[in-house]
């Protein structure tokens, strides 16, 4: 299949929407990462998403909408007050709400769960495409399963060219890490995946919000099926180096790896770009501004592949605000391989 690239003009968005209406898959930009969309009410179209990504069928998809009213047909029963409060505060925006699902939603969207994740992206092109398609769009991140999420149309094509009908090229996604997944189907609001909307922000409307315990301990069964898979990984072997002496320890690790003849990479920020003598030193944003690190994180991880790094050492970041999501993704990209540098 030839994957067609669309620009963000009204006419080309309409063409992309026609593909979606015909039951095909089209990738599109959101404020977090690029999504791979299909008509959420058409199980065959949804199946094409799983095929193209190579995604395990037990991992549910987020349904994207352009208008608040669209929620009513997707959820079962009346909306909880907590959901209304979150929509008022954070939509459109990087917050996915998990709610009891209506029986209109095909079971491959929810992976057979009795809940559905819904969000309204804060991105003009995404909203225009959903509107033009006239249906809610099921859309996971538009990467091959296990790879870093795409933040540009080029990333999407790197993974999925020839496997999807089209991609709408809207430039780089802004936030850079995926939406926060917030489960409102139980008694206590639970963050199943940290993301662009932080726990501190949610606390302002839902004071009782907690993290899914399995996220914090790394043990037990996470409530969000996707969280258990290896994810975001570069091709090289990645390690996250945590602790006050990370700079010195990374320099040592690089030296040792080079002596073994391995091609080395270091993930750092603009502040320390000259501190390392590795084969590939990739800076991402600045320490003074964690959102800038989030925005460039996946592009940086993909860059190590292009540079052929075989072993990669990543600096770590304070776990406040969006730093929680950054460290969650880094540790996953590293397959939880963490080196302490105290």
Task: Report CA 295 to chain centroid distance, whole Å.
Answer: 11
Would you mind telling me the total number of residues written for the chain in this entry? Answer: 342
Residue 46's SS3 state is: helix
The option from ligand TXA, Mg ion, none interacting with 193 (CB < 5 to 8 A, set by class) reads ligand TXA
C-alpha–C-alpha distance, residues 241 and 49, integer Å: 35
194 near ligand TXA, rule: CB under 6 A: no
In angstroms, the CA 147 to CA 292 distance is 21
CB nearer Mg ion, residue 141 or residue 152: 141
Min CB(186)–Mg ion separation in Å: 23
- Closest approach, Cβ 48 to Mg ion, in A, equals 16
Question: What is the footprint of ligand TXA within residues 230-249 (CB under 6 A)?
Answer: none
Residue span 4-43 as binding mask against ligand TXA, x where in contact by CB under 6 A, dash where not: --------------------------x-xx-x--------
| Residue pair 74/136 in contact by the 8 Å Cβ criterion | yes
Residue number, 86 or 250, with CB nearest to ligand TXA: 86
Token digits for 150? Answer: 């795409």
Instruction: Check residue 226 for interaction with ligand TXA (CB under 6 A).
Output: yes
Calculate ∠ Cα 91-96-99, nearest 5°: 110
d(CA 247, CA 239) in angstroms, rounded, equals 13
- For residue 90, cis peptide bond before it (omega within 30 degrees of 0): no
Rounded to a whole number of angstroms, the minimum distance from the CB of residue 149 to ligand TXA is 6
Q: Out of 32, 110, 125, 141, which residue is the one contacting Mg ion (CB under 5 A)?
A: 141
**CB of 97 or CB of 241, closer to ligand TXA:** 97
Partner whose footprint covers residue 328, from ligand TXA, Mg ion, none (CB < 5 to 8 Å by kind): none
Count of CA atoms in the C-beta half-sphere (13 A) of 244 = 1
Residue 174 pairs in a beta bridge with none
**Which residues have a Cβ under 8 Å from the Cβ of 266 and sit 6 or more positions away?**
250, 254, 276, 278, 280, 281, 282, 312, 313, 314, 315
Task: For residue 185, give Cα distances in angstroms to 72, 75, 117, 136, 196.
Answer: 15, 11, 10, 21, 21
Q: Write the DSSP assignment of 275-311 as a string of letters.
A: S---SEEEE-SBTTBHHHHHHHHHHHHHHHHHHT-SE
In the list Mg ion, ligand TXA, none, the entry touching 179 (Cβ below 5 to 8 angstroms by class) is ligand TXA
Site for Mg ion contains 145 (CB under 5 A): no
Minimum CB distance to ligand TXA, residue 90 (Å): 13
State which residue has the least CB distance to ligand TXA: 226
User: Where does this chain touch ligand TXA (CB under 6 A) — which range of 72-80, 205-213, 219-227, 319-327?
Assistant: 219-227
Task: Identify which range of 76-84, 136-144, 161-169, 300-308 contacts ligand TXA by CB under 6 A.
Answer: 136-144
Which one of the spans 139-147, 204-212, 251-259, 264-272 is the region binding ligand TXA (CB under 6 A)? Answer: 139-147
Residue 116 touching ligand TXA (CB under 6 A): yes
Give the binding range for ligand TXA (CB under 6 A) out of 74-82, 175-183, 273-281, 312-320. Answer: 175-183
Residues of the shown chain interacting with Mg ion in the complex, contacts defined by CB under 5 A: 141
């Amino acid at each position: 299949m030839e994957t067609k690239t669309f620009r963000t003009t009204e006419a080309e968005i309409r063409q992309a929407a026609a593909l979606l209406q015909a039951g095909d898959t089209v990738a599109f930009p959101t404020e977090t990462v690029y999504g791979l969309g299909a008509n959420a009410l058409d199980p065959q179209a949804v199946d094409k998403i799983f095929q193209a990504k190579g995604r395990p069928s037990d991992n549910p998809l987020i349904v994207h909408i352009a208008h608040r009213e669209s929620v009513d047909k997707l959820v079962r029963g009346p909306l909880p007050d907590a959901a209304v409060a979150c929509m008022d505060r954070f939509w459109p925006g990087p917050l996915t709400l998990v709610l009891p699902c209506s029986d209109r939603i095909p079971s491959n969207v929810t992976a057979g769960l009795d809940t559905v994740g819904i969000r309204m992206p804060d991105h003009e092109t995404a909203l225009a495409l959903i509107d033009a398609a006239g249906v809610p769009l099921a859309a996971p991140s538009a990467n091959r399963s296990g790879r870093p999420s795409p933040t540009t149309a080029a990333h999407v094509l790197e993974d999925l060219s020839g496997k999807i009908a089209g991609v709408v090229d809207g430039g780089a996604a802004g936030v850079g890490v995926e939406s926060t997944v917030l489960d409102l189907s139980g008694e206590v609001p639970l963050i199943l995946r940290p993301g662009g909307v932080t726990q501190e922000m949610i606390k302002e409307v839902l004071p009782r919000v907690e993290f899914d315990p399995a996220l914090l301990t790394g043990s037990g069964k996470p409530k969000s099926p996707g969280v258990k898979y290896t994810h975001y990984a570069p091709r090289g072997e990645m390690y996250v180096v945590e602790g006050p002496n990370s700079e010195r320890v990374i320099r040592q690790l690089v030296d040792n790896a080079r002596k073994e003849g391995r091609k080395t990479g270091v993930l750092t920020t603009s502040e320390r770009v000259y501190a390392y003598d590795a084969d590939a030193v990739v800076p991402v944003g600045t320490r003074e501004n964690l959102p800038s690190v989030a925005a460039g994180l996946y592009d940086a991880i993909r860059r190590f592949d292009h540079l052929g790094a075989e072993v990669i050492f990543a600096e770590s970041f304070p776990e406040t605000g969006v730093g929680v999501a950054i460290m969650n993704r880094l540790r996953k990209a590293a397959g939880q391989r963490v080196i302490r540098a105290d």
